[in-house]
Structure 1
Amino acid sequence: MKYTNVTNIKYFVITGFPGLSPEYYEAVSFLLLLVFLAIVIGNGFVLVVIICERSLHKPTYLIFFHLAMSDIVFGTVTLPEIIARYWWNDMISSFTACFAQMYFVHSLGAIHSLLLMMMALDRFVAIWFPFRYPLLFTNRTISIACSLCWVLTFIRMMGIVLHASTLPYCNLNTIMHCYCDHISITRLGCGENVAYVKNVALANAMVTLLVPLTFIIFSYLSVIIAVLRMSVTERRHKVLSTCAPQLFITCLYYVPRCFVYLANNLGLHFSLVAHIIIAMMYSLIPTVVNPIIYCFKTKDIKKALMQRLKNRKINTGIK
């Protein structure tokens, strides 16, 4: 079949939150700016702590490092544009810029999902095969695995974005969201291939989310079974305290997404505003909360921070 591209539009209009009164624009932009600063400063702090503290140069914390880095990039890709929309009423995004944002939004989501799977695998091997763990999980192997997560996902998502770009975009150019994503963009496409492009993207999204999620559930169930078999209370508490932060991070990422997916398939439809708010919440809340979990719920990081504070107090007292 011969394909003819009849795209007429040159830019997209980002609406943000539909129906929001102009009197709230400054408040919303200021709130989003605070969220952006919290993401950058919080996750940046985690990166600096892991880099500077030699005791944290371990496989588990290398995964944390990549998670924090992906959170910073995601916040940088999505928030400045919506802040500008409400602060300076800048609603225009060029055709190329919108597709670039879609590419990074979905790539970073897939990378985050793979990193969470690696985190679950790390705990699974550490608890079920503790003697083989030092051989299988080294800094080098984890660095290579994390790098592959980034590189292979960026390559794979390029195909999804290029596939969407083959659609003709005729007249509609208003994106009812706070940023460009695949659903919002392809909804504006015209022609007979729109449904096919959407189905390919949906299949890719399900594989990206459900394959890692299946392994994560299996991994943590195995960990729970292993913990229940332990007879020493102190050891059981240690294992749970190690896994709890990682399990909480995983739940923050997956539970809202699964809820929205199941609700849509069960016929529970939300208003457009509610859908956008929920999407923003499950996209941004984990990126804000993760640094708190890393620093205050992870024993080694908390210990390293406390030791740094004690050393600083001692040095100040000596001076």
Structure 2
Amino acid sequence: MFYTNITRIKDFFILGFPGLSPEYYGPVSALLFMLYLIIAVGNLFILVVVKCEISLHKPTYLIFCHLALTDLAFGTVTLPKIISKYWFNDSIISFYGCFVQMYFVHSLGAIHSFLLMVMALDRFIAVCAPLRYTVLFTNTTVSVLCGISWIMPMSWMVGIVLDAFTLPFCDSNIIVQCYCDHISLTVLGCGNVQAVWALAFGLAMFSLLLPLGFVIFSYFVIIVVVTRISSSEGRIRTMSTCTPQLLITFLYYMPRCFMYMANIVGFTFSLPVRVVVIMVYSLLPAAVNPIIYCFKTKDIKENLRKKFFIEVNKIHKAAE
């Protein structure tokens, strides 16, 4: 553990998983490295497939691309440093580097949340106004909405970071987490931490609850509309178009809401468990989402199937 009495710390120490025995450093680093490879390959695959296949240049798949980009960026921002800690025993992150990492961690989380709101709007219009969908929800509309979803959080997060940056830091410089986030960083501050927390908490709730409220409203209306469809086949077909979006939304919001509700009712996790839970719900969706895009989305699945059979036929012809 490192301690200092100066108010401007030069470096922070990433603690990682508290209490982890050194004998497990190798397996943990290998597991995290495999997780990063899955996130990188899976989300790059989605970006390349949608980019190269003209038939997928539609609003829904453009949103998928933005989500894949946030997942890829989040994994790239958070995982290399913690992998380096357990692989090369490199636990030090610079003072400014920690603030930069915090900026991207929270910006990308808020961006992902707003993109899920855009995705809910996509399904809302597709189900509730199908005849006007191509007019109301064009690629241009999606690009504008997704652009706003990126610009807004990245803008206000500058203020959050600068607010935390003004804090004097003293005593411990240990980040009790696998990456620099707002709480684990500002808890080390010695100034008016409560004011810094209040501003950050308010914007965090805005980023979480506004999109979540719209998502809940949208899918409630969608379910009402679907129940009014006369044929059971039509109801199943309509709901199936929403399945990927529902799974992706569930994976993102449910663990976060569970953690907030647990804190409200007074149920607390031990520190090691809390760190593991945060890592799981932060990174697991980024690894799972590409699978959902591929196997729960008809157009991507059909496109991959066609390309697979084309390649198989080429191999057979070459063998003949």
What TM-score results when the alignment is normalised by the length of structure 2?
A: 0.96
- For the residue of structure 2 that corresponds to 1:150, the secondary structure is helix
% identity of equivalent residues: 58
- For 1:49-198, what aligned pairs fall within 5 Å after superposition? 49-191=49-191, 193-198=192-197
The count of aligned residue pairs is 313
Shift of 1:33: 0.2
- For the residue of structure 2 that corresponds to 1:132, the secondary structure is helix
Shift of 1:170: 1.7
Query: Following the alignment from structure 2 to structure 1, what is the Cα–Cα distance between the partners of residues 152 and 257?
Result: 24
- For the residue of structure 2 that corresponds to 1:293, the secondary structure is helix
- For 1:1-319, what aligned pairs fall within 5 Å after superposition? 7-191=7-191, 193-319=192-318
Structure 1: stretches of 5+ with no match in the other structure = 1-5
Query: Following the alignment from structure 2 to structure 1, what is the Cα–Cα distance between the partners of residues 149 and 221?
Result: 24
- For the residue of structure 2 that corresponds to 1:122, the secondary structure is helix
Query: Following the alignment from structure 1 to structure 2, what is the Cα–Cα distance between the partners of residues 261 and 152?
Result: 24
Query: Following the alignment from structure 1 to structure 2, what is the Cα–Cα distance between the partners of residues 110 and 95?
Result: 23
Range moving further from structure 2, 165-174 or 209-218? 165-174
Query: Following the alignment from structure 1 to structure 2, what is the Cα–Cα distance between the partners of residues 56 and 236?
Result: 24
After superposition, give the CA deviation of every residue in 1:152-172 in whole Å (9 maximum; x if it has no partner). 221111111111111111222
Query: Following the alignment from structure 2 to structure 1, what is the Cα–Cα distance between the partners of residues 8 and 166?
Result: 13
Shift of 1:54: 1.1
Shift of 1:245: 1.2
Contact 1:43 1:68 in 2 (8 A): yes
What TM-score results when the alignment is normalised by the length of structure 1?
A: 0.96
Contact 1:13 1:173 in 2 (8 A): yes
Shift of 1:143: 1.3
- For the residue of structure 1 that corresponds to 2:7, the secondary structure is coil
Give me the CA root mean square deviation: 1.0
Contact 1:84 1:90 in 2 (8 A): yes
Q: Give the letter for the 2:172 counterpart.
A: L
Shift of 1:199: 0.8
Q: Give the letter for the 2:110 counterpart.
A: A
- For the residue of structure 2 that corresponds to 1:131, the secondary structure is helix
Query: Following the alignment from structure 2 to structure 1, what is the Cα–Cα distance between the partners of residues 183 and 240?
Result: 39
After superposition, give the CA deviation of every residue in 1:158-198 in whole Å (9 maximum; x if it has no partner). 1111111111112221010000000000100002x210000
- For the residue of structure 2 that corresponds to 1:126, the secondary structure is helix
